[in-house]
């Protein structure tokens, strides 16, 4: 099993605050690693650290065979592309000109791939339009194109679908899958959009308060997810009161829908609700979502 990235007991302090607290993770070659945690959990700190933008306080990481303390790690970073938070772009330049600057920064003289990169991220139509006039979604696309310059073996994306419309999300998803499956690019993705992440990731790492909560493959996650019944009713207060009396494990979603987990005597529950004048308007069964699984691990509603 070849690892693109191995992190061991990594700690990053800012004064007395630990952004990372003895954090460990393993990103296997060929994986799409979904990195999940709430705001402030330490995701971006970890990404900035492995990209060499800051040094850890303690611990170590190995990137494509080189330890972070080895000067030769620059060889690994030449094979790595990254988009961290909001892309750093030159507003007065066009998309093509931004990519030319990126190519020169990487020491690449051959710029023939620029048009292909712009086509891949859906920006081939922008011509001489200045980046300062781009929408947020267009800036995100260009940020991904910059990360892909030089054909990296390891790609790190922090919120890659931020600001994209549904069609844009589909296009970025297809691009990520193509890079992974056809070009064998290993990808680490941090995203708030857990539904979208669930369509991509082969492995998940969960972080909270700078510590690893769990690392699990997509297959293991599928097996671990509980069965769930989703109910929508007229009279949510009655439903919650009844579920509490049953001692049921449930979660209230937006719009008054309630997810009920585990074995539940549904016919008996629906009858009880009817007796109390609470009508069930819709009911469907599915497996627990990535979002629900995450919340069951760390608790709370502020997911990321």
pLDDT tens-digit map of 263-273: 777 788 888 88
Residues 82, 35: one domain? yes
Bridge partners (DSSP) of residue 212 are 207
Task: Answer yes or no: are the C-beta atoms of 10 and 22 closer than 8 Å.
Answer: yes
Residues 245, 174: one domain? no
Report CA 113 to chain centroid distance, whole Å: 27
**Domain contains 299:** no
What is the CATH classification number for the domain harbouring 281?
3.30.70.100
Residues 37, 159: one domain? yes
Q: What phi and psi values does residue 287 have, to the nearest 5 degrees?
A: -80, 155
Task: Answer yes or no: are the C-beta atoms of 158 and 85 closer than 8 Å.
Answer: yes
Residues 92, 132: one domain? yes
Count the helix, strand and coil residues of the chain and give each as a percent rounded to the nearest 5: 35, 30, 35
Tokens of 92: 């007065």
Residues 15, 39: one domain? yes
Q: How sure is the predictor about 304, in pLDDT bands with cuts at 50, 70 and 90?
A: very low
Residues 279, 186: one domain? no
Mean pLDDT, range 102-108, rounded to an integer: 87
Residues 200, 155: one domain? yes
Task: Residue 144: name the closest of 126, 109, 166, 119 by CA.
Answer: 119
What is the CATH classification number for the domain harbouring 187?
3.40.50.300
Residues 40, 155: one domain? yes
Tokens of 262: 């585990």
Q: What is the pLDDT of residue 164?
A: 82
Mind listing the pLDDT tens digit for each residue in 8-31?
999 999 999 999 999 999 999 999
Residues 142, 268: one domain? no
In this model, does residue 303 exceed pLDDT 60?
A: no
What is the reported pTM? 0.80
Residues 67, 128: one domain? yes
Query: How far is the C-alpha of 213 from the C-alpha of 250, rounded, in Å?
Result: 22
Full domain range(s) for residue 242: 226-287
Mean pLDDT value across the chain: 88
Residues 267, 209: one domain? no
Task: Residue 68: name the closest of 43, 48, 94 by CA.
Answer: 48
**Domain contains 274:** yes
Tokens of 29: 């070659």
Q: What phi and psi values does residue 19 have, to the nearest 5 degrees?
A: -75, -35
Mind listing the pLDDT tens digit for each residue in 81-91?
999 877 889 99
Residues 236, 201: one domain? no
- Greatest mean pLDDT range, 72-81, 220-229, 256-265: 72-81
Mean pLDDT, range 69-79, rounded to an integer: 93
Task: Residue 166: name the closest of 178, 155, 158, 174 by CA.
Answer: 174
Q: Which runs of consecutive H residues, i.e. helices, occur in the chain? A: 43-50, 73-77, 95-105, 113-120, 136-148, 166-181, 194-198, 218-224, 236-246, 266-275, 290-298
Cα torsion 261, 265, 267, 272: sign: negative
Task: Residue 292: name the closest of 259, 246, 244, 243 by CA.
Answer: 259
């Amino acid at each position: 099993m070849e690892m693109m990235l191995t992190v061991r007991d990594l700690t990053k302090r800012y004064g007395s605050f630990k952004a990372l607290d003895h954090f460990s993770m393993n990103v296997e070659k060929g994986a799409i690693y979904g990195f999940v945690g709430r705001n402030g959990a330490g995701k971006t700190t970890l990404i900035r650290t492995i990209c060499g933008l800051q040094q850890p306080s303690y611990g170590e990481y190995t990137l494509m065979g080189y330890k972070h303390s080895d000067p030769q790690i620059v060889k690994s970073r030449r094979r790595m592309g990254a988009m961290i938070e909001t892309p750093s772009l030159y507003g007065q330049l066009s998309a093509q000109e931004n990519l030319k600057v990126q190519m020169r920064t990487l020491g690449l003289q051959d710029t023939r791939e620029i048009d292909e990169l712009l086509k891949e991220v859906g920006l081939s139509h922008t011509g001489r339009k200045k980046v300062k006039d781009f929408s947020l979604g267009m800036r995100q696309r260009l940020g991904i194109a910059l990360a892909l310059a030089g054909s990296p073996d390891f790609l790190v994306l922090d919120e890659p679908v931020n600001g994209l419309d549904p069609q844009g999300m589909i296009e970025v998803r297809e691009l990520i899958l193509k890079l992974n499956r056809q070009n064998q690019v290993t990808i680490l993705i941090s995203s708030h959009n857990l539904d979208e992440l669930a369509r991509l990731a082969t492995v998940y790492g969960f972080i909270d308060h700078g510590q690893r909560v769990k690392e699990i493959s997509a297959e293991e996650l599928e097996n671990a997810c509980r069965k769930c019944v989703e109910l929508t009713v007229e009279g949510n207060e009655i439903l919650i009161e009844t579920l509490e009396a049953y001692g049921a494990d449930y979660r209230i979603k937006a719009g008054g829908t309630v997810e009920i987990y585990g074995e539940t005597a549904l016919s008996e529950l629906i009858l009880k609700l009817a007796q109390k004048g609470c009508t069930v308007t819709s009911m469907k069964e599915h497996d627990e979502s990535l979002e629900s699984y995450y919340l069951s691990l760390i608790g709370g509603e502020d997911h990321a």
